[in-house]
Amino acid sequence: MSYRVITIGAFACHPLRPMDSTRPERLGYATTTLVVSSDTAILVDPGLPAQALVPRLLERAGLEPADVTHVFLTRFAPETARGLPVFGDATWLVSEAEREAAGTPLAMMLKRAAEAGDAEVVGELEVQVGLLARCEPAPDSLAPRVDLFPLPGVSPGLAGLLLPEATSTVLIAGDAVPSAEHLEQGRALEGSHDPEAASESLREAIEVADLIVCGRDNLVLNPTKRPF
């Protein structure tokens, strides 16, 4: 099993960097990670648009979209899924809890937009509904040494991937651990669906993982596991 960060994510405005609030908002997108185990190539959170993500995938891993066998979303959101359509040959996965939690609000918004006659919004929501419908519930184990790890709170069904190695444990955490600053300060993402559960998931991530791939940051060492 191997893993590699393909693109480092970013917030539209970083909530724990005061200077960010004085600057124009950027495009927010999730960190994208590639996990290869046996004959399975799993791309996690393709958050950048395809025109930006595809060259990065080639540069960082020497892979084309057709080489990706599975795409896993830590949660269903535009920030994690902008590049999803280009991986049409892959199996798309999201936790069953996230799939169910995301589906009902989308259906309700689509119904209201249709009743209001807002064709543009209807079109956008139909795309999202179509993407979610194509996503399958993720199994407990996606591949050898690649295990589903529920981290609810930021969204109802957010889940990461746990990668146990011989000498360390890696957790691809998504927005359950948004950035190095959130990790250092022990703070969950503001505006979480369930703040208490989000805080508990952050604590669980810190307890179990030696290395963490943050949702909007790089691979970082768990500060509680440092040798000095």
First-to-last alpha carbon distance for the chain, in angstroms, is 28
In whole angstroms, what is the distance from residue 16 CA to residue 197 CA? 20
What local confidence, expressed as pLDDT, does residue 23 receive? 66
- The partner residues of 4 in beta bridges, in order of sequence, read 34
DSSP 10: B
Question: What is the enclosing helix (H) or strand (E) of 81?
Answer: helix 78-81
Q: Is 145 left (phi over 0), alpha (psi -120 to 50) or beta?
A: left
The answer to whether 170 and 209 are in contact (CB under 8 A) is yes
Q: Report the predicted TM-score, pTM, of the whole model to 2 decimal places.
A: 0.93
Mean pLDDT calculated for residue range 215-224: 95
In whole angstroms, what is the distance from residue 183 CA to residue 219 CA? 12
In whole angstroms, what is the distance from residue 213 CA to residue 227 CA? 19
Reference 169, options 209, 224, 225; nearest CA is 209
Residue 120: both structure tokens together: 């543009």
In whole angstroms, what is the distance from residue 66 CA to residue 58 CA? 11
Going from the N-terminus, what domains does the chain have, and what CATH number goes with each? 2-225 (3.60.15.10)
Token pair 């393909």: residue:
6
Q: What are 144-198's pLDDT values in tens digits?
A: 999 999 999 999 999 999 999 888 999 999 999 999 999 999 999 999 999 999 9
Cα–Cα–Cα angle for 7, 47, 92, rounded to 5 degrees: 115
- The partner residues of 212 in beta bridges, in order of sequence, read 171, 220
Q: What are 95-134's pLDDT values in tens digits?
A: 999 999 998 888 888 888 888 888 888 888 888 888 999 9
The sign of the dihedral angle between the CA atoms of 175, 177, 179, 182 is positive
Reference 56, options 103, 9, 121; nearest CA is 9
Q: What are 1-59's pLDDT values in tens digits?
A: 999 999 999 998 888 877 665 666 678 999 999 999 989 999 999 999 999 999 999 99
DSSP 153: S
Token pair 């993402």: residue:
189
**Contact residues for 207 (Cβ-Cβ < 8 A; gap 6+):** none
